[in-house]
Amino acid sequence: MTEIPHRGTPHYDALETYSADERAAAMAAALPAIVAHAQRSTAYFGAVLKGVDAATVATREALSKLPVTRKSDLVNLQAASLPFAGMLAVPIGQLARVFVSPGPINDAEGRGRDYWGTARAFYAAGFRAGDLVHNTFSYHLTPAGSMFETGLHVLGAAVIPAGVGQTEQQLAAIAALKPNGYVGTPSFLKILLEKAVVAGQPITTFQRALVSGEAFLPAHREHLASVGIDAYQAYGTADVGIVAYETSARQGLVTTEHALIEIVRPGTGDPVADGEVGEVLVTQLSANHAYPLIRFATGDLSAVLPGPSPCGRTAMRIKGWMGRADQTTKVRGMFVHPHQVAGVVKRHPEILRARLVVSHVNGEDAMELRCALLSSPPAGLADAVVASLRDITKLRGDVVWVDTVALPNDGKVIDDTRKFG
Amino acid sequence: MTEIPHRGTPHYDALETYSADERAAAMAAALPAIVAHAQRSTAYFGAVLKGVDAATVATREALSKLPVTRKSDLVNLQAASLPFAGMLAVPIGQLARVFVSPGPINDAEGRGRDYWGTARAFYAAGFRAGDLVHNTFSYHLTPAGSMFETGLHVLGAAVIPAGVGQTEQQLAAIAALKPNGYVGTPSFLKILLEKAVVAGQPITTFQRALVSGEAFLPAHREHLASVGIDAYQAYGTADVGIVAYETSARQGLVTTEHALIEIVRPGTGDPVADGEVGEVLVTQLSANHAYPLIRFATGDLSAVLPGPSPCGRTAMRIKGWMGRADQTTKVRGMFVHPHQVAGVVKRHPEILRARLVVSHVNGEDAMELRCALLSSPPAGLADAVVASLRDITKLRGDVVWVDTVALPNDGKVIDDTRKFG
């Protein structure tokens, strides 16, 4: 396969370079339409968004007042109302594919061009029509294989559906077919490259890679560059597809154009300030979406990276995947959720930020709510917060005041310090 | 999932009920075009069909004079000229998918609607838009998963890409999603049904099935009918897709409309009489086919089932898959091929049919050519045939005259009776 240079414009489409005004206008058109569609076409959002005037949901601020739907609740919601908890806007037979991810969580792939929005991420990573791409995500029961393949087909690239495992056969296929691109996890790319060297048949045809599914560290990226592979990462979920993708600017990840991304305080629906770590929320923007999730809390942590990307893309940037937001734990046999901690903070406007530290002392679980305050605590605040904590969690806990620097900006609301097993 | 009745017409399109004249006219248009395309667009057929005037290849008879390309030769042809032995009509990056089947043999999937021609087979089996179909063929490295999925998408059905293995997760997915259709091997359908019963959660939602990849016996079909599953079989290969498919007539399999099927004497390119068992040859008919195989010998045995199907489809029928045609063996360390036996028969017009029986006598390989003659043998024929056999195979063998009933119509040209291991 001969070298295929990056062709055409640096951007996938005109959306990527919209001005702030153009973005606001597009959002003002898309948001009310998708909210109305979700209310009208799904039993779930018909109930959850009952009474909401869709026409008024035309800005990020208006959206931020709507209820959150949590991925962590999907297992139970779906089990109670199979298969999609009333969230599908079409009969199941009108989907393209249906998956069952571990959980189990049923995942829907609607019909239409590039449902998961992966073509844009491939384009930013330098993939073009005529490429031959080795796809090592699984196609079986989980969506990643199909998710990345459909975007490659939209770009006009050919795919080797390699899937997971069968490393020897994969190496033989690479040697015979000479793909110039790779998509899969970064760790499996490492395995393929190393095993090929051991087998005396190093892989020399890969020129670019799109990696996802796990952390992708700079050292790994630099090593790949040293063997001639230009690798970019994308972040997505099995529910909504690509959320954000890396570009040649190599500064954070640019959020996708087919969905609206918010970063909120874990356990709440409240947006955090730019730069603060919080939970990633996704709202689908495509009209008539088959699975129109509104304020879907992914359970992943990230943070807004302020300012525009030097690559020219004007969409909001995030810092990439920064861990899991879901910090629900059990204390003395009772569940304690991040939204309960947020509930305590809300009752007391003096508290700027708080973190619940769970430990095990003298054979018993202990809770300590560490609060950073806006100013010196008024008399009686500690007792009031202890009471709120007990009221909301049904558990006894201590309250201490700490400096804001003692609560680093890492999105952690519950810090479970107990050692299990 | 509610019952979806068979909708619309009983046939997938107008091609299926063409009159004999319409078929001849369509063939007269398609054959010269595909032959010219293969000559012009592929290095391999440019050489193999050098000097052939494509315009004259407008009938089955004219086609039957062209050289055969054997699947059994693909491994070596591809290894000598990776990845497709010069048989691709497009750059590899313009395919949709590329697979590596065991062999290894590289398989090409071109772009476009229903490349493998599976939608027609699903339609004949009662599948319709809105169905939800559990697909248990693998999507990884081999084409069957994609082959059947693409046809379902063309029909407008949704797919659960289950793949192979993970039986417990598959049963959970079936219970949660309630697919009404199954596609995969008949034996894996049996495993799923039985394990579901053992697990106390019998599968009750499957209404129809398309099975392929192995023999599908009437007893199994009747058992499936007794549990409410209307099952049909299809026969295809990884190179060309669907070759023939069962219909409600339940009389043999109707050959596909996107390719021309011939049945020839194994080892030759000579069509056998209707009803005689021989090797299945396929010639692609789609204009501008990405992988335009001309007289591709599949290595499978079948026979023409004369007469039209009561279901109204007018394409040639075959009896289904009847075993493997490739009977190449080794005698005293030398390869003996079916075409060598055919070569002996051709030299002696007195011979109607022949079979080479290979055995092991007193620690040594032995060959006996059993010949059925048109009339009493002239003097010296036996010696002449022995000489031909030695000339062509470089091996000594005996020749005996047998009655035609001693050579049953089962497509067997070389009968290797030795017991190995």
pLDDT at residue B9, rounded to an integer: 82
Phi, then psi, of A104 in degrees rounded to 5: -80, 145
Q: What amino acid occupies position B3?
A: E
Contact between residue A267 and residue A70 where contact means Cβ atoms under 8 Å apart: no
User: In terms of Cα–Cα distance, which of A195, A204, A211, A222 is closest to A136?
Assistant: A211
Quote the minimal CA–CA distance from A97 to chain B in Å.
Answer: 5
What pLDDT score does B421 carry?
A: 42
B-chain residue closest to A135, CA distance: B140
Query: How many whole angstroms separate alpha carbon B310 and alpha carbon B251?
Result: 8
Query: Between chains, do B158 and A98 touch, taking CB under 8 Å as contact?
Result: yes
How confident is the prediction along chain A (421 residues), in pLDDT tens digits per residue?
A: 333 334 568 999 999 999 999 999 999 999 999 999 999 999 999 999 999 999 999 999 999 999 999 998 998 999 999 999 999 999 999 999 999 988 789 999 999 999 999 999 999 999 999 999 999 999 999 999 999 999 999 999 999 999 988 899 999 999 999 999 999 999 899 999 999 999 999 999 999 999 998 888 889 999 999 999 999 999 999 999 999 999 999 999 999 999 999 999 988 999 999 999 999 999 999 888 999 999 999 999 999 999 999 999 999 999 988 877 778 888 887 878 888 898 999 999 999 889 999 998 887 889 999 999 988 899 999 999 999 999 988 889 999 999 988 888 788 889 988 876 4
The amino acid at A85 = A
CB contact under 8 A, B158 and A95: yes
Question: Taking all residues of chain B, what is their mean pLDDT, rounded to a whole number?
Answer: 93
| Residues contacting residue B400 through CB under 8 Å, at least 6 positions apart | B368, B369, B370, B371
Number of Cβ within 10 Å of residue B44's Cβ equals: 20
pLDDT for position A2: 34
**Alpha-carbon gap, residue A77 to A215, rounded angstroms:** 29
Q: Which amino acid is at B287?
A: A
Closest in A1, A100, A165 to B176, CB measured: A100
Say what the pLDDT of residue B7 is. 54
Residue pLDDT, tens place only, B277-316? 999 999 999 888 999 999 999 999 999 999 999 999 999 9
- Render B322-378 in DSSP notation, one character per residue: --B----EEETTEEE-HHHHHHHHHH-TTEEEEEEEEEEETTEEEEEEEEEESSSPP
The DSSP H or E segment spanning A33 is: helix A20-41
Substitution target from B141, B168, B174 for chain A, most A beta carbons within 10 A: B141
Q: Which residues of chain B does A94 touch, with a Cβ-Cβ cutoff of 8 Å?
A: 130, 156, 158
Asked if residue B122 lies in contact with residue B210, where contact means CB atoms within 8 angstroms, the answer is yes
Per-residue model confidence as pLDDT tens digits over B30-47: 999 999 999 999 999 999
Q: Which residues of B touch A178 (CB under 8 A)?
A: 82-83
8 A C-beta contact, residue A339 and residue A367: no
pTM comes to: 0.86
Type of residue numbered A52: V
- Residues from chain B contacting residue A146 (CB–CB below 8 Å): 161
Strand, helix or coil at A47? Answer: helix
CB contact under 8 A, B178 and A139: no
Contacts of A162 in chain B (CB under 8 A): 140-141
Alpha carbon of residue A183 to chain centroid? 18
CA distance A191 to chain B (A): 18
Identify which of A100, A138, A176 has the shortest CB distance to residue B106.
A176
Alpha-carbon radius of gyration of chain B? 23
- Residues on chain A touching B97 (C-beta within 8 angstroms): 158-161
CB-nearest to A83 from B100, B170, B176 is B176
Interchain proximity B100–A159, CB inside 8 Å: no
* Straight-line distance from the first to the last Cα atom of chain B, in angstroms, rounded to the nearest whole number: 52
The interface predicted TM-score (ipTM) is 0.85
- pLDDT value at position A217? 86
Cβ of A132 and B92 within 8 Å? yes
**What value, to the nearest 5°, has the Cα angle with vertex B323 and ends B320 and B324?**
125
* The predicted structure's pLDDT at residue A6: 44
